[in-house]
Amino acid sequence: MSIFAWVVLFSLLALLALVAVRMSSKHEAQGLDDAGFAIIEFNRAFPTEAIRSLQATANGEVVFVRLHDNKTGFMRNMQRHYSCQVIQPGRVRVQSSDTGKGLTLEFLDARHQNGTFEFASPKEASEVALWLLGNYVAEPDRELPLTDPTAANHR
């Protein structure tokens, strides 16, 4: 073979290696920072659930999803796929993390999802905690009982 053929062959192999390395690094760096991507992936897993709001952790590996019927969803990057679940009422225990900017969750139905999830601010952590606590309140208890009307309401 001529030297020209060897140069072309070596160049093609180097190009193939470069493309393979770039594709694998892009896959590793891809988190759930993109809200549109998180919505698409969660709706692929649960097509009948209407999403109301999203809240990602500080590292972008986990997105908590507030659903339209006041349930909460959970989406975690598992490197090669995404684990999505709807958290059933009363099936998660919530505690504040040591930093105050996160939550320590214990899932009673999916123990492999347990962990501490840090958010960018304590406000975001408290918002997700309220979503999760909203799952604990039974539907009849959400209505406030009517009390005696005040004098200002009488005419």
Cβ atoms of 62 and 125 within 8 Å: the answer is no
Q: Supply the pLDDT for residue 29.
A: 47
Q: What is the pTM of this model?
A: 0.67
Assign a CATH topology to domain 35-138.
PH-domain like (2.30.29)
Q: Supply the pLDDT for residue 143.
A: 62
Q: Supply the pLDDT for residue 27.
A: 47
Alpha helices in the chain (DSSP H): 3-29, 35-45, 122-134
Beta bridge partners of 86: 73
Q: Supply the pLDDT for residue 57.
A: 92
Cβ atoms of 101 and 112 within 8 Å: the answer is no
Q: Supply the pLDDT for residue 91.
A: 84
**For the chain, which ranges sit under pLDDT 50?**
27-29
